[in-house]
Amino acid sequence: MSPKAREDALTALGSGRELDILVVGGGVVGAGCALDAVTRGLSVGLVEGRDWASGTSSRSSKLIHGGLRYLEMLDFRLVQEALRERGLLVQRLAPHLVKPVKFLYPLTHRGWERLYVGAGVLLYDTMGVTSGNSRGLPHHRHLTRHSALREVPALKADALIGAVQYWDAQVDDARHTMTITRTAAAYGAHVANRTRVTGFLRQGERVTGATLVDVESGRELEVHAKQVINATGVWTDDTQAMADTRGQFHVRASKGVHVLVPRDRVNSRSGLILRTEASVLFVIPWGRHWLIGTTDTPWDLDKQHPAASSRDIDYLLEHVNLVLATPLSRDDVEGVYAGLRPLLAGDAAETSKLSREHLVAHPVPGLVVIAGGKYTTYRVMAKDAVDEAVRTLDGAYPGPSVTHDVPLLGADGYQALRNRRHSLAKASGLHVARIAHLLSRYGSMIGEVLELIEHDPELAKPLPGADDYLRAEVVYAVTHEGARHLDDVLTRRTRASIESWDRGVEAAEIAARLMAGPLGWDEQQILDEIAHYGKRVEAERDAQRQPDDLTADAARLGAPDIVPAP
């Protein structure tokens, strides 16, 4: 997904040739739709108004899981479906990106709670086995209080009487979504980010395509398609309104906030799952950090930049501190992010009770809408949406979905390269730990990153203030991963914006200058990118000092989006 590849995609989209499928929305579901459709042999376009995964799909809890709490709601079908997808991702589709992670559930009541929770986790493991894809994840185990405290010394001794430990999986959601998009492009889909839909083309009642604007250049184009799939998540209602249709369901946004603290602040060998009055709270191992979340509150303010308030951060710290022997403070918080979940609207007062199921609708001929669901089941959602779209396609039916058997780029050969990580380290001059980290991000595409370093050894240096990432990764983000702006690199291609104390500000200048060559930036654009990123970080920090959503939203909107150079 180089700059030239994006230009070629826009040229193909605006050529006047009718596509079979145009997908609107570059989150995980839209990317999944594009991959599903193109691997059926269809001609496909995928457009995203901002960056790939810039909305919900980069701001999740980063878990690939069945959802233990949905068992308690007796939603067995959703749990089994998600566990099947978890197995596929861990074993076949993305083993380089999706990794097992263990969680400890502290028990606080004697007798009944161990039986209740143990039965639930046993059913969870059993459903994973019956899904046919459970290999690679150990089964749960029961722990005494003494054993649990050995596993998680950070817990208060009086915060539990025992525990149950089980396994799920985690993923860098933004990287995974981008890799799905890149895989779709590799199979022939025309993909373009920073390309916004401004309206739909009509022939009578039927939707026959869309009008687009290339946000980078201002160029307008028309794209003709037999079917358009609206996969815009929390923007579903807004996109449907462009087609002059109310739609058959509505989507509400629920805000989820997470904080990151350094790994040494919580002495533990396991993640935690804790009950709250409204839902559950996760403490998730994340590289050199712990990821703590999430909140679950309605949000009807700016959807592009949901803001975390001081109240949100306090809520997370207060609840996790109920079980920690050494409490966390605001000074321990290194990173914060807020995301919006798209929930199918219902009559429930709390968003935590709205549906995580997904629905597919065909509100007008030529337009398919997919909404709801959860990150883990993106592939099933995409399959269902494309099934509905092809049902009314003229000509031969293209056949069923094959994405259950289509590994993402970087998956094939990953295990073999992982076994060779010591020889790769020796050949490249990098430490074996660095090679392991690169393999977990690029899989079998690691050779393309190492080739950049071979041509320019300076690119082997880490980014200042974000030394988990090499300078080569910044260049690669532009030349292979569709990054168009500094924010794309520091927020989604890397996670410097939430993993470093200064939120990536120290790395900004070097990263911008590395991006300038392949993107053709002049000095003014470099300075604009650096300045914009600094303002964005300060606006987010300001929002996180505000007492509520309204004031936090106003503070965050103090930093407008970057405007490309003319």
Cα-to-chain-centroid distance, residue 39: 22
pLDDT digits (tens, 9 = 90+) for 55-67: 999 999 999 987 7
- Lowest mean pLDDT of 92-96, 235-239, 402-406, name the range: 235-239
Strand, coil or helix: what is 182? Answer: helix
Which residues have CB under 8 Å from 158's CB, separation 6+?
Answer: none
Which of 21-30, 107-116, 269-278 is modeled with the greatest confidence? 21-30
Q: What is the pTM of this model?
A: 0.94
State the pLDDT at residue 247: 66
Rounded Cα gap, residues 122 and 346, in angstroms: 31
In this structure, of 71-75, 170-174, 182-186, 301-305, the range with the lowest mean pLDDT score is 71-75
pLDDT at 525 over 90: yes
Residue 93 Ramachandran class (φ > 0 left, ψ -120 to 50 alpha, else beta)? alpha
User: pLDDT for 444-471, tens place per residue?
Assistant: 999 999 999 999 999 999 999 999 999 9
pLDDT of 276 > 80? The answer is yes
% of the chain residues with pLDDT over 90: 77
pLDDT digits (tens, 9 = 90+) for 422-438: 999 999 999 999 999 99
Instruction: Compare 392 and 384 and report the one with higher pLDDT.
Output: 384
Q: Using 50, 70 and 90 to split pLDDT, how confident is the model at 99?
A: very high
- The pLDDT tens digits for 134-189 are 556 888 899 999 999 999 999 999 999 999 998 999 999 999 999 999 999 999 99
Angstrom distance (rounded) from CA 394 to CA 321: 59
Structure-derived torsion over alpha carbons of residues 98, 76, 28, 259, reported in degrees to the nearest 10: -70
- Please answer whether residues 46 and 195 qualify as being in contact, where contact means their C-beta atoms are separated by less than 8 angstroms: no
State yes or no: pLDDT of 272 exceeds 50.
yes
User: Contact at 8 Å (CB) between 437 and 462?
Assistant: no
Question: Concatenated DSSP letters for 28-78?
Answer: HHHHHHHHHHHTTT--EEEE-SSSTT-SGGGSS--EE---HHHHHTT-HHH
Token duo for residue 202: 């009509």
Per-residue pLDDT, averaged over 364-385, amounts to 93
Q: What is the token pair recorded at 358?
A: 């997904």
> Where is 448: in which H helix or E strand?
helix 446-455
**pLDDT over 80 at 266, yes or no:** yes
At residue 306, the pLDDT reads 94
Q: In this predicted structure, what is the pLDDT of residue 126?
A: 73
Q: Is the pLDDT of residue 483 over 50?
A: yes
Return the amino acid letter for 467: D
